[in-house]
Amino acid sequence: MVQDIHSHYSLSDFHRFNEIGKDKSKLFDDDEDFLFSPSSYSALHTTLSNGVQMPLLGLGTTHSGGYNHDAVVFALRKCGYRMIDTAKRYGVENKIGKAISDSGVPREDIFINTKIWPTDFKQGVKNVFEASCRRLNVDYLDSYMIHLPIILDNSGDQKTVLQETWRQMEKLYESEKVKSIGVSNFEISDLETILEDCSVNPHLNQCEFHPCQNPTSLRDYCKENKITFSGYCPLAKGRILNLDQIQKIAKKHGKTAAQICIRWSIQNGVSAIPKSRKLSRLFENSLVFDFELSPEEMFILDNLHLTENMKVIEFNNIKDTMYLPDGYNTKMIDTHCHLADDAFSEDLDEVITRAKNAGVQAAIVCAEFRWQYEKILEMSKKYPDFVMPAVGTHPIQEGHISTTLEDFQDTDVFVKDHHEEIIGLGEVGLDSNPRFLKDPDLEKKIQQDVLLKHIQLSKDFDLPLNVHSRSAGKPAINFLLANGAEKVHMHAFDGNAKSAKPGIEAGYYFSVPPSFARKEEKKSLVAAIPLDRILLETDSPVLGPEPGERNEPANIRFSAEFIAIVKKISVEEVIRQTTENALRLYPKISRSLLKLK
């Protein structure tokens, strides 16, 4: 049953728990003696039908590319999180096992949940379970779940496979190697299949849950059958945090919108498992026990889904990607970055390693200035399986001055000498930002002359143009079209959907950096571009997911996730299609990688 948290803890108790964490000098130092005790946050729990207690606040984990070891240790050691939710599919179980060990928190104080993926059903639940335990370095689990009610083609009918898999889950539970068994992402019909032929009802059903995704009928069904409904994605990947209703409540309590969403879940008796790689966010997410939402505020949030319904996790095309490696390391291509920038001079090896671990197959490294040309070519020789070189005359040169035809002369010679080694011309284009133009009319005309010469080089050597358009989105596309540019890649297009339309109709490609997710107006732009004309980029070291922080290719998944949200499709479909698009526009990437095999 779901235990009323107020039956055991008053607001003064919650306040006391939070006051422990508000001493940031303790939270963020390396004091080995400062450790949250099990009597703090872990005491706030829901009770499953078999009497097992599960914390109401937990830590969600992410795929291998975005996993942060220090963040998990910090959450356990400094913030009092006592539940970790993961899955074999995420590819991080071994890393979590190490983080638990490094945290110093006793195993028995942590509620650990992991899941079995549908492609592993044929191996047998017991074998997959034991492998997860070995990776986690534990001899038992607090909860084990079926990740999805989806059955692979040619593996039998869904009802038979689910019921047989559940019988194996029951045997596992009877062996006392796991304290509770459950399911994830099961709808009522899926639960009916299990309940029709089972000796142990699922103890848990974990589903997406936030104010804009509140499946009341499913929750009622779970309650009737003594199945604890638990939640994931409590912040809807940040998509709901700017809603007026949530913002007004947050302002009234002096809290963040994220804290309001987490608190709403907890007051509903539904466990929340927010995830973050940032220590400050983990700390912030834990400070939800020193205030209470009023009945009126709960009513507003309980019913928000009726007018602002939103589901951010979809499984419509999951079968297409079911066999991808654990960790979701689908190979992505960063089609525009600047790894020759001085920002990467000290740790380029580590940056590339992180990118590969995040599932980035290759990165088109563009030049901004002439001195970078040789450097980028050398990088492509040192990292032939990753760095794909592109050179071109940027419209704004060093010293923030507009380019000249003399700048292009060096580019012209270099491209003619090395056209077989480079895969594109970039970064080229137009820039009408008044900060960089002393004589706007003259300098804009010269920029156009330089771009025209790049268009000719593109045709002569069959090299795509990687185009810059700051404060010049519409003029850049119009100029390219007027001068017959064919293979065009608009990087971080600085314009709206209307100004992009002629380029879209001409078959131009548009790449999306992580920063677009921070700009409301970019949603309509991305929505207007067909998926088969979208590319991923980071523009590292700038245009990252967080303003003012150095960006790097490993962050490219933020772009894919943003596109998936706008297009209402899976991230895997975005990655598959954008990679296909990149290889279509830049065929030399495939040729370069094939040479290495």
Tracing tokens 């079911």 back to the chain, one arrives at 322
Query: What residue has token string 């980035």?
Result: 360
Query: With contact defined as beta carbons under 8 Å apart, do 553 and 351 qualify?
Result: yes
Q: Please, is 346 exposed, middle or buried when counting C-beta atoms within 10 Å of its C-beta (0-12, 13-18, 19+)?
A: exposed
72 Cα distance to chain centroid = 17
Residue 588's nearest CA partner among 376, 371, 380, 339 is: 380
β 401-402/396-397 pair status: antiparallel
* Residue 90 a catalytic site member: yes
Distance from C-alpha of 476 to C-alpha of 487, rounded to nearest angstrom: 14
* Whole-number Å distance between alpha carbons of 140 and 349: 38
Could you give the CA distance from residue 532 to residue 578 in angstroms, rounded to a whole number?
A: 7
Active-site residue (options: 90, 232, 328, 383): 90
Q: Taking a C-beta distance cutoff of 8 angstroms, is the pair 556, 538 a contact?
A: yes
- Measure the CA–CA gap between 485 and 316, rounded to whole angstroms: 37
Integer angstrom CA distances of residue 378 from 118, 346, 352, 362, 388:
44, 16, 15, 16, 11
d(C-alpha 41, C-alpha 83), whole Å = 10
Q: What is the DSSP string of 336-362?
A: EE-TTSGGGTTTHHHHHHHHHHTTEEE
Give every CB contact of residue 315 below 8 A, 6+ residues apart in sequence.
148, 150, 185, 570
Helical packing angle, 497-505 and 521-528, nearest 10°: 20
**Under the phi-then-psi rule, with left for phi > 0, alpha for psi from -120 to 50, and beta for the rest, what region is 170?**
alpha
> Which residues have a catalytic role annotated?
90
